[in-house]
Chain A
Amino acid sequence: MVVDQLTEAELDRLFQALADATRRDIVRRVTVGEYSVSGLAALYAMSFAAVQKHVAVLERASLVAKEKRGREQIVRGNHEGLQKARRLLDEYEAIWRQRAERIADILAE
């Protein structure tokens, strides 16, 4: 099995990005649908500039993608970045399922 390795800098960016509640909320929202930066800014009790900064952090961590559309900046989820973490959790789950089966075997002796 080849597991893609992220560079250390990429990892740092990813975990820093997800360490903030507002940024996690932004990720949750834009994974489901598109939002403009001003649309996001209207959701939080903080300035447009502050929200823009959060979006920039998420973009550097490859969790969201930003695209200019007319005057608006549209933010979408970067599914690839999140899927990488999900795939790892899936694989780890399989390890525990196998362990549970082995435990059941021992208990059945």
Chain B
Amino acid sequence: MIGKGSAMTVISSTKNLEALSLTIVAEFDADVQRVWQIWEDPRQLERWWGPPTWPATFEQFEFQPGGKAAYYMTGPDGTKARGWWRITSVQAPSRLEFDDGFADDNGAPVEDMGSAHATVMLEDIGSRTRMTVLSTFESEEQMNKMVEMGMEEGMKEAAGQIDALLAEHSRAV
């Protein structure tokens, strides 16, 4: 299913090459409380964190300052890519901060891969919500890995979705 969200979901992105950071601003047709739930509820989080062919499963999810989360993403061939969060700040329903890194097969953080820091801010803009996500990386190598985990399969999936839609269309005609 191709996204129902409009093409204007993401309204801006700012890259800071030297600081290896990325700021994404998106707006949603829902109130702040509702958008907070997609972060707070691991079952909802699982539905969007990973690309459709690499769905995320959160095995541990302590949504509080100092809390930990452990998840894995399962690839089409059954390969599991594991990750962890260390939640550093929770200010419902407007601000969440966490460190995000890779884990080995046992779920232990791979320390030499470093971690990324994410700051999520939700803001009421009338009947809609503006979500700002600032991601800061420690190293280029770590960004490489993040991209490998999320990107390749995401692109393949998008292509597959288009194929499926075209197939449906030709059947309907």
Q: Could you tell me which A residues sit within 8 Å of B by CB distance?
A: 1, 3, 5-6, 8, 11, 14-15, 18, 24, 27, 82, 84-86, 88-108
> A89-B17, A107-B34 given as contacts; is B150 within 8 A of A95 (CB)?
yes
**B5 CB contacts on chain A under 8 angstroms:** 100-105, 107-108
**B141 CB contacts on chain A under 8 angstroms:** 5-6, 8, 11
Q: Is the CB of B10 within 8 A of A24?
A: no
Q: Could you tell me which B residues sit within 8 Å of A by CB distance?
A: 1, 3-6, 9-10, 13, 15, 17-18, 20, 22, 24, 26, 28-30, 34-35, 38, 44, 47-49, 51, 131, 133, 135, 139-141, 143-144, 146-148, 150-152, 154-155, 158
Q: How far is the CA of A109 from the CA of B48 in the complex (A)?
A: 14
Nearest B residue to A82, CB-CB: B17
**A3 CB contacts on chain B under 8 angstroms:** 144, 147-148
Q: Is the CB of A18 within 8 A of B18?
A: yes
Q: Is the CB of A92 within 8 A of B140?
A: no
Instruction: Please list 21 pairs of residues, one from A and one from B, whose beta carbons are closer than 8 Å in the complex, sorted by A's number.
Output: A3-B147, A3-B148, A5-B141, A11-B140, A24-B18, A27-B18, A88-B144, A89-B17, A92-B135, A92-B151, A95-B146, A95-B150, A97-B24, A100-B5, A100-B131, A102-B5, A104-B4, A104-B6, A104-B28, A105-B48, A106-B47
Main secondary structure of the interface of B (DSSP, over half): mixed
Q: Is the CB of B22 within 8 A of A107?
A: no
